[in-house]
Structure 1
């Protein structure tokens, strides 16, 4: 599971050849949330409100890069790193 980005204790991951819909995993402490790329909604798991807000802000800034990384992971290629939330 490649790490795409890290910021403020949040780790963003994508799994190789993962199932649809397109999404990424966000880890924060003991919590994990699965976030849909199209709506940026939490589709599984849990993240604290503040962490989720930062994840959404970051994903809005990097939506195109996330879509590219999703396609790379679907074809079992290493995704590109994405700049952290600044």
Structure 2
């Protein structure tokens, strides 16, 4: 699964041959989650509230790039949350 970015122990990645709706995967320590690109809601899994907030903060300005990646199946890195 290609890694899109990594920050503060959070790893964001995406499988390119998966089901809709468009989503990305989040790993943080023992936690795993799937987040919808359009709504930034959790589709599956669990993240602590603080981590979820950081992922949402990162994902919001990158939604268009994430969706483009999902649709084109072209992988590239995105800047981490700073």
TM-score (norm 2): 0.95
State the match for 1:24 in structure 2.
24
Secondary structure class of the residue paired with 1:21: coil
Shift of 1:61: 1.4
In structure 1, C-alpha distance between the alignment counterparts of 2:39 and 2:72, rounded to whole Å:
20
Query: Any gaps of 5 or more consecutive residues in structure 1?
Result: none
Q: 1:81 aligns with which of 66, 77, 80?
A: 77
Shift of 1:16: 2.0
Query: Any gaps of 5 or more consecutive residues in structure 2?
Result: none
Q: Please tell me the root mean square deviation across aligned C-alpha atoms, in Å.
A: 0.9
Shift of 1:58: 0.4
State the match for 2:46 in structure 1.
46
Number of positions where the alignment pairs a residue of Structure 1 with one of Structure 2: 82
Secondary structure class of the residue paired with 1:62: helix
State the match for 2:69 in structure 1.
69
Deviating beyond 4 angstroms after TM superposition, the runs of 4 or more aligned structure 1 residues are none
State the match for 1:35 in structure 2.
35
